[in-house]
């Protein structure tokens, strides 16, 4: 875990509430894995006091060397302040943090699922899986409230992914929720993936875990939680999980240390 100032390379609006933030931080970029995250201190003052967690969206090893990108959605004070930061300013990063996605011994069907800003960690995961010589097929199911939520689609297509879009208002793609359409589609496929990689809101993650259990597929879910410290000290991010092997009682895992990526079967859904 490293604490470093990172220079802002770009801070580009993709829509009214989504921004791509480019940061130069070779020490973190060299070791961070897909699904891990950084805690960002946006400015050197008491307001906002706490760092904010963000996943790594993409790495740019050569452009310039050691740069990385975050995709953030403006939801409150910290992210609003982030929109005012200019190239040449710095933020302070703590990372790499947490346990990212794991890659089972399989080189076939790759299935990613994203809900809204849950798309944030998936391009880095997709690039890594594509580079691991998976045969495919490569498929992303991406759901949002409306068409404006659906960013980065062309990037996935460029990586060779088929992208299945679902919006709640039906403005683009299928109408409804990803979880309503994904299971009937999966059942029609010749082959099932060994694992579903998913990031999105809690109800979506729960449906994905339940569907994966019905279809006997494993699921790796990047879970959201309110985080105070990011390093296991404040216990603000606890998630109720099934008893570890040999134990009788459920336990509380820290999303910041034991996650954010969990096997769907580990979680006790509330």
Ligand X SMILES: Cc1cc2nc3c(=O)[nH]c(=O)nc-3n(C[C@H](O)[C@H](O)[C@H](O)COP(=O)(O)OP(=O)(O)OC[C@H]3O[C@@H](n4cnc5c(N)ncnc54)[C@H](O)[C@@H]3O)c2cc1C
- What CA dihedral angle connects 50, 236, 2 and 125, to 10 degrees? -110
The residue with its CB nearest to ligand X is 76
Which residue in 11, 32, 52, 197 binds ligand X (CB under 6 A)? 52
In the bound complex, what is the minimum distance in angstroms from residue 267's beta carbon to ligand FES? 16
- For residue 177, the minimal CB distance to ligand X (Å) is 18
Q: Tell me how many helices (H) and strands (E) the chain has.
A: 7, 16
The stretch among 47-55, 181-189, 239-247, 262-270 that binds ligand X (CB under 6 A) is 47-55
> How far apart are alpha carbons 160 and 201 in whole angstroms?
26
Candidates 187, 190, 206, 189; CA nearest to 262 is 206
Selected from 34, 37, 161, 254, the binder of ligand X by CB under 6 A is 37
Does 229 bind ligand FES (CB under 6 A)? Our answer is yes
Residue 55 interacts with ligand X (CB under 6 A): yes or no: yes
Applying CB under 6 A, among 66, 68, 72, 163 the residue interacting with ligand X is 72
Nearest to 164 by CA among 154, 155, 174: 174
Among 91, 122, 237, 253, binds ligand FES (CB under 6 A): 237
Cα separations in angstroms, 235 against 108, 127, 225, 239: 38, 33, 11, 10
- Across the beta sheet with 37-41, the strand order is 52-55, 37-41, 90-97, 2-13, 18-24, 65-73, 58-62
Give me the residues that bind ligand X (CB under 6 A), please.
37, 48, 52-55, 70-73, 75-79, 117, 120, 224-227, 260
Give me the residues that bind ligand FES (CB under 6 A), please.
227-230, 232-237, 254, 256
């Amino acid at each position: 875990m490293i604490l470093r100032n990172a220079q802002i390379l770009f801070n580009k609006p993709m829509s009214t509430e989504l921004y791509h933030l480019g940061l130069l931080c070779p020490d973190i970029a060299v070791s961070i894995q897909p699904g891990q995250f950084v805690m960002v201190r946006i400015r050197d003052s008491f307001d906002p006091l706490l760092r904010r967690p963000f996943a790594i969206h993409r790495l740019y090893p050569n452009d310039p060397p050691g740069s990385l990108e975050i995709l953030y959605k403006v939801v409150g004070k910290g992210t609003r302040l982030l929109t005012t930061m200019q190239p040449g300013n710095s933020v302070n990063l703590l990372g790499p943090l947490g346990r990212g996605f794991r890659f089972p011994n399989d080189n076939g069907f790759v299935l990613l699922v994203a809900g809204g800003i849950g798309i944030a960690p998936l391009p880095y995961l997709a690039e890594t899986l594509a580079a691991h010589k998976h045969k495919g097929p490569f498929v992303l199911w991406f759901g949002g409230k409306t068409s404006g939520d659906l960013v980065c689609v062309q990037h996935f297509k460029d990586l060779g992914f088929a992208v299945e879009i679902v919006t709640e208002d039906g403005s683009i793609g299928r109408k409804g929720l990803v979880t309503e359409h994904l299971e009937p589609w999966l059942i029609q496929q010749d082959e099932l993936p060994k694992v579903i990689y998913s990031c999105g809101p809690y109800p979506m993650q729960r449906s994905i875990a339940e569907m994966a259990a019905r279809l006997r597929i494993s699921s790796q879910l990047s879970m959201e939680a309110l985080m105070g410290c990011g390093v296991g000290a404040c216990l603000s991010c606890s998630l109720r999980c099934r008893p570890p092997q040999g134990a009788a009682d459920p336990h509380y895992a820290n999303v910041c240390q034991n996650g954010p990526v969990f096997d769907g079967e580990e979680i006790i859904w509330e």
